[in-house]
A and B are shown apart, each in its own frame.
Chain A
Amino acid sequence: MSTKEYAIRVDNLTKLYRIGMKDKVNETFAGTLLNFLKSPLNNFREYKSLYSFDDVSLDDCDDQNQESGVLCALRNVSFSVEQGEAIGIIGGNGAGKSTLLKILSRITHPTSGRIEIMGRISSLLEVGTGFHPDLTGKDNIYLNGTILGMRKAEVDRKFDEIVAFSGVEKFLNTPVKRYSSGMTVRLAFAVAAHLEPEILIIDEVLAVGDTAFQKKCIGKMQDVAKGGRTVLFVSHNMAAVSKLCNSALLMKDGRLIKSGNVDDVIAHYVTSITDKTSDVLSERQDREGSGEIKIQSVDYLNEQGKKIESPLSGSVLVIRMRYRTYSENEFRNCRVSATIMKDHRPFILLDSSVVGKDKIVLSGTGYINFIIPELPLSKGEYHISTFIESDKEILDWVDAAAELSVIDGDFYGSGKCYPSRAWAGKTVLVKHDVNIVQDN
């Protein structure tokens, strides 16, 4: 393929954001009063400066300059995508992947740089955009289809296919608010799956729902990629990326740090993430969420509540996440989870909602304990990702927040453990026994 046949060419793309500026704190009542009176003027200046970056240069925000309140989400990113190529974009939270997608989808404008796109482009950053709960399934198919960039005639043509794919034939004339959440997602994905743009941009949020549905999503995306279309796919799920894409881009702190063959890039990413965990957790920038709560540290405790470096297989492990809130609010209906990852793939999900703790209220500072009575992991290196949301809004999410190295313990109560030789299938430990009965 000649270099001329590019589908997307990105040239020196930069995107700056203003983040919240620090409030001046006054010590005197008079000062506070004066500030209050001046606040309309200050507010005006602040809102005005939100989109003006004349006074900022790229060097200013080199180390996430808190003083200027400028965040550099993308810096001088350049790459090109050939036609028919399926390319994955990977990187930790806050690396700039979503910003890149938003600029490519024309949702937000770049601060500087240029992009050329050849062909009709559609982006799927969410399924079911524009769904109206009061409208029927049929109405929503048309609405959502046109929102995603289809023409009415195109929806007409594919209508039966979409309905068949979604499996909600019987409820086409029912308002969507009466659908189960599963049905709504299926219908929304069915519409999205029938887009036929030349270039498709997909965010990982698509990979939600149950496993069967996820498989369907990935399968459909593979079809799209094989059909000669150009696909850009952002994901945290390395398995999905390596399955779907032939090449990948690795982003970190708004920079493009590696591109090329998908497996090489993933390998590079997995190694680099390991170095990350040495940073102080509360100061890490590669996190997602509103930031109103931040996990400060992750500690491991044993049965007696003593801090330990590394737990033993089969022993009690308490994973303690210390949190701190950065606002006066009380956060209700929180869901907290810790995911134990192996080789950057989710392995064990510890989650407050599945154990029935769904009325969690977080405020001030404190800690969350995840208690595993018998650690079923064998010797090895793992990572822990932390996640907090309140009323379905993500407050803090850090990928690979901490390392967890497990030491062989007497899981089976036999005084024995697996030999260090390469036996397959010994990562998760399951209590078992072996019986031998000799036929007479």
Chain B
Amino acid sequence: MNKTDKTVIETADGWRVEDLEEIKEYRDLFYFLVWRNIKALYAQTIMGFSWAILEPLIQIVIFTIIFGNVAKVATNGMPYFLFVSVAVIPWTYMSSAMSESSMSLVGSRAMLGKVYFPRIIYPLTPILSKLVDFGISLLIIVVVLIYYNVPLTINVLLLPVFMIFMITIPIGVGLWLSSLAIRFRDVKFAMQFFIRMLMYTAPVVYAASSIPDQYRFFYSLNPLVGVIEGFRSCLLGQEIHWEYILPGAIVSFLIMITGAIYFKHMERIVVDVI
């Protein structure tokens, strides 16, 4: 028996940081929770994982009809279908991971009260499980790029960097909102508006270049702008506008760090308040 295995339980006051060692201890559980989410999501559906393609595809078609054909949004001469496809895919991931992560604690009430494991696993689970959908939906991008005969450039090597950037956004938002939601269920209602608002402030259906220059800095504080711009530049071989990307990256990083601290602070009361 390993007698050095000593746990101390004390009143946890003040602010602490996540114990990474502890999370590592629970990695098998983390893995199975992610896997449960993936497996259970499409259980008893006819289409199964095809939904991961259909959902963004339908969105792309609708946007192409409304913003491409009816409103005729300027795309710097690019076919609208191509233009919007490379943005909708990361957007779908971010919005679904964000909303699921935000409701993760409230939705796991029963489990929270019955068993302990590092609570941060709850909001992080959907971040990872949604990546499977994202991976599948990348197929749309591949097909669209081939269809429009877009040549790959050296920029595509930067895509993994933007994917990591993409993941930090729902992590930060999820940590903040899931811990706020345990006290204030208002989050559930505000979430809908919040996500819709994010979509229109980000250049999903229009080009970031249509924003007047003097507002560019404020505009690019929104981390979504950087992710979408980054995806477009990498995949369509355009010049990378770092001025759209860096401010948002810093903001997203800060949201993630403060979110982790706030989450840890709220963690100790979650069961009593939820």
Asked if A108 is at the interface (CB within 8 A of a chain B CB), the reply is yes
A131 to chain B, nearest CB (A): 10
Query: Which of A50, A134, A147 is close to B43, meaning CB atoms less than 8 Å apart?
Result: A134
Binding site for B on A (CB under 8 A): 17-18, 47-48, 50-51, 102-121, 123, 125-126, 129-130, 132, 134-135, 139, 142-143, 146-152, 175, 198
For the complex, what is the distance from the CA of A308 to the CA of B5, rounded to whole Å? 60
Asked if B78 is at the interface (CB within 8 A of a chain A CB), the reply is no
Query: Which of B6, B12, B113, B115 is close to A118, meaning CB atoms less than 8 Å apart?
Result: B6
Asked if B117 is at the interface (CB within 8 A of a chain A CB), the reply is yes
Residues of B contacting A129 with CB < 8 Å?
Answer: 110-111, 114-115
The answer to whether B28 and A117 have CB atoms under 8 Å apart is no
For the complex, what is the distance from the CA of A137 to the CA of B250, rounded to whole Å? 45
Q: A130-B111, A135-B40 are in contact. List 14 more A-B contacts (CB 8 A).
A: A17-B272, A18-B272, A103-B9, A107-B114, A110-B9, A125-B114, A126-B114, A129-B115, A132-B36, A134-B44, A146-B28, A146-B29, A147-B115, A152-B31
Q: A111-B11, A134-B40 are in contact. Are A50 and B183 (CB under 8 A)?
A: yes
Question: Could you pull out 20 A-B pairs where Cβ atoms are within 8 angstroms?
Answer: A47-B184, A50-B273, A105-B115, A108-B268, A114-B8, A117-B6, A118-B3, A125-B113, A125-B114, A125-B115, A129-B111, A130-B115, A134-B44, A135-B43, A146-B32, A147-B29, A147-B32, A147-B115, A198-B1, A198-B5
For the complex, what is the distance from the CA of A117 to the CA of B5, rounded to whole Å? 8
Asked if B269 is at the interface (CB within 8 A of a chain A CB), the reply is yes
Residues of A contacting B272 with CB < 8 Å?
Answer: 17-18, 50-51, 108
For the complex, what is the distance from the CA of A123 to the CA of B117, rounded to whole Å? 11
B115 to chain A, nearest CB (A): 5
B270 to chain A, nearest CB (A): 8
Asked if B271 is at the interface (CB within 8 A of a chain A CB), the reply is yes
B27 to chain A, nearest CB (A): 9
Q: How large is the interface on B (under 10, 10 to 19, 20 to 34, 35 or more residues)?
A: 35 or more
- The B76-112 residues at the A interface (CB cut-off 8 A) are 110-112
Binding site for A on B (CB under 8 A): 1-3, 5-12, 28-29, 31-33, 36, 39-40, 43-44, 110-117, 183-184, 268-269, 271-273
Residues of B contacting A108 with CB < 8 Å?
Answer: 268, 271-272
A415 to chain B, nearest CB (A): 57
Residues of A contacting B111 with CB < 8 Å?
Answer: 129-130, 147
Residue picked from B12, B114, B117, most chain A C-beta under 10 Å: B114
Residues of A contacting B117 with CB < 8 Å?
Answer: 147, 149
The answer to whether B9 and A104 have CB atoms under 8 Å apart is yes
Residues of A contacting B115 with CB < 8 Å?
Answer: 105, 107, 123, 125-126, 129-130, 147-148
A229 to chain B, nearest CB (A): 10
For the complex, what is the distance from the CA of A107 to the CA of B108, rounded to whole Å? 13
Residue picked from B6, B40, B184, most chain A C-beta under 10 Å: B40
Residues of B contacting A103 with CB < 8 Å?
Answer: 9
The answer to whether A143 and B269 have CB atoms under 8 Å apart is no
Q: A129-B111, A135-B43 are in contact. Are A116 and B36 (CB under 8 A)?
A: no
